[in-house]
Amino acid sequence: MRAGARLAVCAILVARWFVHAQSPSGQSVFRSGVQVVSIDASVRRRNTLAVLAQGDFELLDNGVKQEIEARSIAEVPVDVSMVLDEGSISKLIYAKTFKSDLLQIAATLRSIDRIRVITFATTVRELVAMQPARQLAVDKLTEIDESLPPGIENRWDLTQDPNLLGRSELDALFLALAWPVDLGRRHLVMDFSEGVDSSILDRQSIVAIAARSDALLHIALAPEVIGRSSLGSLNVSDLRLRGMLASAAAATGGGVHELVDRLKAFTTTFEELKQSYVLRYTLTGVPPEGWHEVVVKVPKCPDCVVRARKGYFGR
Amino acid sequence: MLSTTDALNLYNRGAYVECSQALTRLGVVDSKLFPVFEKEANRWVKEADSSSVERRALVAASVALEIAHLFREQRSERAGHYLVWASLLMRKHQATPQSEAERYWYLASIAGFLEVDTYWKLTAGLGTDAGEFQDLMWALGPGGHLAAAWRRFPDEPRLLLARVEAEEYLSQGLGAQRVEPFSDVFTPERLQDLRMRAAARVPDSVHTIEEMVARSNRDLAVAALNHFRLIPQVESHFQALERYEGLRGEIELRVGFLEFLLANWGSALEHFDRVAAFTDDAYLLYLSEYFSGRTFQKLDDHDAAISAFERAQEIIPGARSVAVQLGKELFLNDRAGSRDRVYPLLSSAFAASAPDDPWRLYLRGDARLWPVYMAHLREALK
């Protein structure tokens, strides 16, 4: 890269950091009944998912130890909300079509699971309403726009796409996270993101919304993309947004993954979900209202890494 | 297949529906059409006798607006070629005195420019660009198309309003710097931070990433402070147009929005409250309630924000901006199961049948009025 072009890239990145300087915060909740709380937790030991028993867990709610009941999620039906960016970046990077990936993803789900598909470009579409995964409406999937805009053949052409930066990802995520989850089911939101956004929803709100949702949010982020613009090289990815998305996912106990392959990203996430636990307890010794910080530990395994919701807002 | 000459003749005869249907038919209008259109349309105008040449120019320029409208979702240059060609044609063939059809043509053309010109570059000659787009800007000259329109109709209120709207746009920064107007308001804390950054000492030539970051921070702060200083001037220019009764509602709305950007919450709310006294335009009424709700959010008065958003929802049911913000309030400030309303609210707002969102159109001036002005233009051309 020429020195001048590199300067242009950095200047734009700095501009974005500067404009959006703020601190993400907030965590999340899954509730059932007035004072009965359920928290998802997965545990890894040396990069492998650990198999644990109920007595292995310790849970503190606002610092007070709770009596918990641990249950494997493998037995629990899951609602999956797929959130897909119909933008040019995805279409350039991935050889496979949305339709073929979605059909394979639906095939990996169980008969007890359900799926819906939300797509977004300049606006948001709930393309497939929540329905049994094995009955995914194939005809609706043909409505996904798989084509690239005219004149765009490689990533250097990306800045010629008039809708490149006009993405409604956060609005789509809000629609996904707002899904009212039935008691006894879990909700996984899998967002395939290009890391570009111009939604109506303010960026800082997505973290708080994720924190208060009943969903587990995982985000598969496309690599940063450098395109050519009238100003020189342009990093079309928004680093500040990527940070916000990571905070939102973490608030639900989920995470961010590098998106190399849509099917692989989903199956890895879903397998991990199935091997995680629901820790359920009746809240005791703590006032129900307000923010509850939740800490999950596995005392017998000091080198285990626990991934769980960081807390919830009591009603 | 329809030729450009056929389309021009149809339009000239007042067969607008047939012409539009022919233009929208697959294959008639594509990205390669412009050179053909330009050549045939120029010849069609030139072939007219002296008594009809101005009418033919007006008809050809109107067909160009119709085609540009079809390209409004595509790269700006596509529509830009037609719009710039039409602007130059109309400057060349000026009737005396000005006709009603020409007046509507200029109003429709400003709306058409703003449909595709996100940054007011072609419309008002703001900023700079490169390549093909810069060539189009140069062709229009200083002040862009709006300057030419205003020279022909210096007392037309909507054109006067558009001139100040261009200033309003400029006062909020251009391109990447104007990202989130609802977040980047000039609160005392932000101003203090900007002033501190603007005063930072940075070497004239940068050699390291750290120096480059420091310079960028300083330059952005200086630019933001310049925008801040422009706002009162823009407000006074809007207020100078209050003598035009038909503009009062829009002026209250726009001055209120600028007061919002200045973090003058009370003053902003007063302006938004006054909008309804001057207009029954649903677009303006919706935005006055939407902006009120956004102001109440800044004041942490969530009940008032919810009420304002609900009033906006009644004015334009299903509009997305208010659905998202109302949904956010209900979701984050859950009271008595209000969260249960959020999913149906968002789901209907993002249904295919949802209306165009007024907030998305706000910084595009009269773009929303393109169908209205074109209907008047077609009528006046008959």
**Residue A248 in this model has a pLDDT that exceeds 90:** yes
Residue A22 pLDDT more than 60? no
Contacting residues of B for A315, CB less than 8 Å apart: 334
Per the structure, the count of domains in chain B is 3
Q: How far is CA B272 from CA A202, B242, B248, B314, in A?
A: 22, 15, 12, 17
The residues facing A229 across adjacent strands are A232
In this structure, CATH architecture of domain A79-274 = 3-Layer(aba) Sandwich (3.40)
Q: Which helix (H) or strand (E) holds A98?
A: helix A98-108
Which residue would you say has higher pLDDT here, B173 or A256? A256
Beta strands A69-72 and A277-282, pairing class: antiparallel
Rounded to the nearest angstrom, the minimum Cα separation between A92 and chain B is: 19
B82 and B133 share a domain? Answer: yes
Q: Which residue on chain B is closest to A161 by alpha carbon?
A: B75
User: Does position A25 have pLDDT exceeding 60, yes or no?
Assistant: no
Per DSSP, helices labelled H in A125-185 are 138-141, 169-177
Q: Is the pLDDT of residue A29 over 60?
A: no
Q: Per mean pLDDT, which range of A204-218, A222-236, B57-71, B217-231 is the poorest? A: A222-236
First to last CA, chain B: 25
Residue A205 pLDDT: 93
Question: For residue A248, how far is the Cα from the chain centroid?
Answer: 8
Per-residue confidence (pLDDT) for residue B169, from 0 to 100: 87
pLDDT means over runs of 10, chain B (382 residues): 85 92 68 87 94 95 95 86 97 92 98 89 83 87 96 97 92 55 87 93 77 80 89 96 96 97 97 97 97 97 96 95 95 78 93 85 92 97 92
Interface contacts A/B by beta carbons within 8 Å: 103
**CB contact (8 A) between residue B217 and residue A14:** yes
Q: For residue B273, what is the domain's CATH number?
A: 1.25.40.10
Domain residue limits at B210: 173-241
Are B155 and B11 in the same domain? yes
Last residue of a domain, one of B241, B259, B293: B241
Give the residue from B225, B286, B331 with the most A CB atoms within 10 Å of its CB, the best one to mutate. Answer: B331
The whole-number average pLDDT for the span A59-73 is: 91
Residue B31 sits at the chain A interface (C-beta within 8 Å): yes
Q: Provide the whole-model pTM.
A: 0.85
For chain A, where are the E strands, in sequence order?
A: 36-45, 48-49, 58-61, 64-65, 69-72, 78-85, 114-120, 124-132, 186-193, 215-221, 226-229, 232-235, 256-258, 277-282, 290-297, 304-308, 311-314
- Beta carbons of B183 and B144 less than 8 angstroms apart: no
Please indicate, yes or no, whether residues B66 and B191 belong to a single structural domain of this protein: no
Sign of the CA dihedral A258, A261, A262, A264? negative
pLDDT at A163: 64
Asked if A14 lies within 8 A of B130 by C-beta distance, the reply is: no
Cross-chain residue pair B176–A15, CB shorter than 8 Å = yes
Of B75, B182, B221, the CB nearest to A160: B75
Domain ranges of chain A: 79-274
User: Residues A269-297: what's their mean pLDDT?
Assistant: 88
* The predicted structure's pLDDT at residue A8: 29
Contact B343 A178 (CB under 8 A): yes
Contact at CB, B347 and A175, closer than 8 angstroms: yes
Question: Per-residue confidence at A41, pLDDT binned at 50, 70, 90?
Answer: confident
Residues B145 and B59 in one domain: yes
Judged by a CB distance cut-off of 8 A, whether residue B76 touches chain A is yes
Confidence (pLDDT) at A38: 84
| Count of beta carbons in the 10 Å neighbourhood of residue A107 | 11
Mean pLDDT check: name the lowest of A111-120, A173-182, B297-306, B348-357: B348-357
Residue A126's pLDDT band (cuts 50, 70, 90): very high
